[in-house]
Structures are given as structure tokens and as C-alpha cells.
Amino acid sequence: MANLQQNKIWRNLAGQRPVPDDRLGAEPTHLGQNLFHLFPAMVKTAIVLSREPDVSFGFINLIWAPAFSILLIAYSINFIRTADPITRKVLVMGILFGTSLAGFYGLFFGHHSFLVRYLFPLSPILLFLTCAMFTATFRKTAKSRLAWLGRGLRLFIIIILVWFHYQIYNTTVLWTADQSYFKRVDWVAQNLPAETWVGGFHTGVLGYFHDKTINLSGRVNPQALEARLQGHLTQYILDSEISYLVDEWRFIKQCNQNRHLAPHFELVHQDTDNNIGVLRRITPPAKATDG
């Protein structure tokens, strides 16, 4: 569904009806689009890792993540019943806040890739409740016939945490997509002067290392957002000081095939293995020509 929405965006570049990017929240794809990803995101938020791992197991998300979340919710309700008044108020406020966030981002807003970031404010209370739930389970099973359950749970937690961290630090498993961002940074640093203006949709990493970077997605550039919503993004690009478009190959390919941009840019670099494409402007900015 996200790919369909991206295609709509780039059809807008060809002069068709403007379609806002669903990641900006201006036009969600459909109600409840993030519900399938909500529980895994809550699990990742609860264990507070230094970097968000991809814990998508396909349909198994329908089993393990909701099961963990339901256990945590059930324990939280029981914990609130037995807690002192101050703790009870704090937990109730946290749960209401968490329910509001989960409901809003799960039903109405944003792309599932960012759910962990949206839910991150819940990490302190979720971490506290998770640790409290496991501790209580260990204590109750330590001197009973279910002692094996406590030991098995400890082993399971260790295995899960080791697996998460393996995915975090194993670049061949998790960072494959991220490497393309740094490959773009390397290409710009090696081939362009520091004063060259560069444009792109995915400019977070590139903009950090190259000051003269113009974001075209509208996420951090109000002028680009306004141009996209009004259907004038191509004109915005042509009027800007952008000398190079540097981005994922699929976007650069579509720009190169666009009837408005193609006469003004030429393809100078294509690296599909590293998901990089570069277009160079061959005409002066439109405003400079008008002047």
C-alpha cells in the first residue's frame, strides 16, 4: 500500500492531481492501516533497545506480539488494583496516555515504519510494567511445581534479547537498507564541492553531512510540502538552486522519466546494487532564467 501511495506522489510530478504523502499524515491510506504493526511496535518500545530492530515475522506477529501485549495489559490491571494510591494514579495516567497514542497512530496517522518512534514516550512505563511482570512471575514460580516455567521464561528472554541485539549489530542482517544512505553521503562527499546544492526525498542522513541539502518530501521543508500539496513540486525543483538530485534509484529513475524534469536533468550515476541514483541539472534554475 505504501508503494502505491509513493507511485501516486510521483504521478503528481507528471502533472496529475496532487496526492499528499501518507507519511505526512495528510491523507492516510485507510483506517486502521497500522493495527497489524502496532503490537510489535509496543514490544520493541517495552524492551527499550538502543536501535529499533526489525522484528517482523510476518503472520506470527498475530500471535506472539498480541499475546505478550495482552499479558502485559492483564498484569497492569491487576498491578493497579493492588498498588498504593500514588502509584495507581501514575499508572492510570500512563495507560490512558498510551491508549491515546496507540489509538491515534494505530488507526489514523503515519506510516508503520515510524510507529516505534511515535510510541517511544511510552517506553518508561512499559519497561517498568514489563520488568515488574517478569519479576512477579519469577517469584511466584520459584518455590512451586512451576519453577521450570520461571527458568524457561528466563531463558526465553535471554534468547530474544540476544537475537534482537544480533540484528542490531549485524550489518548484513539489518543495516542493508541503511547502507544506501551512507553510500549517498560518500558519493556526494567524493564527487561534489561542499557548496553544491543537492535535493532528494530521503535527506535525513545526507543533510547531516552535507549542509546544502534541500528536502523534497516536505517532512522538514515547509516550502516543499506546500508545493507538493498544491501539485507544483516539479516547478519547485526547477525554481530551486538544486544542482543534483540524489536519492534511491527508484525515485531518480522516475524523475529521469518525468516529462517536466527530464529536459533539465541528466543521469550521471546509477548504482542499483547500493540503491543510488544521481541526476545533474543541465539548465539554470527557472527563476534565474526569468531574471
Instruction: Tell me what pLDDT residue 282 has.
Output: 95
Name the pTM for this structure.
Answer: 0.59
Higher pLDDT, 47 or 21: 47
> Which residues pair with residue 266 across a beta bridge?
280
Rounded Cα gap, residues 162 and 138, in angstroms: 20
Residue 178 has what pLDDT? 54
Give the distance, in angstroms, between the CA of residue 71 and the centroid of all CA atoms in the same chain: 27
Residue 126 and residue 113 in contact, taking contact as beta carbons nearer than 8 Å: no
* Grid cell of 229 as nine digits: 500539496
Strands annotated E in the chain: 198-200, 213-215, 244-247, 265-271, 276-281
251's grid cell: 525515485
DSSP bridge pairs for 278: 246, 269
pLDDT in tens, 190-202: 999 999 999 998 8
φ/ψ of 90, rounded to 5, equals -65, -45
C-alpha cell at 239: 525554481
Task: List pLDDT tens digits, range 248-275.
Answer: 888 888 888 888 888 999 999 999 888 8
Are the CB atoms for 241 and 285 separated by under 8 Å?
yes
Strand order in the sheet with 276-281: 213-215, 198-200, 244-247, 276-281, 265-271
Q: What average pLDDT does range 241-246 have in this prediction? A: 95
Is the predicted pLDDT of residue 139 greater than 60, yes or no? yes
The predicted pLDDT at position 269 comes to: 94
8 A C-beta contact, residue 142 and residue 51:
no
Query: Nearest Cα to 208, choosing from 192, 184, 225, 236?
Result: 184
Whose grid coordinates read 529521469?
256
Q: How many CA atoms lie within 13 A of 277 on its CB side?
A: 19
Cβ neighbours for 165, distance < 8 A, ≥ 6 positions apart: 49
Above 60 in pLDDT, residue 176?
Answer: no
For residue 180, pLDDT over 70 is answered with yes
CB atoms within 10 A of CB 126: 24
pLDDT band at 120 (very low <50, low <70, confident <90, very high): confident
Mean pLDDT of the chain: 76
Residue 11, pLDDT score? 47
pLDDT one-digit tens code per residue, 47-75: 665 455 444 445 555 666 777 777 778 88
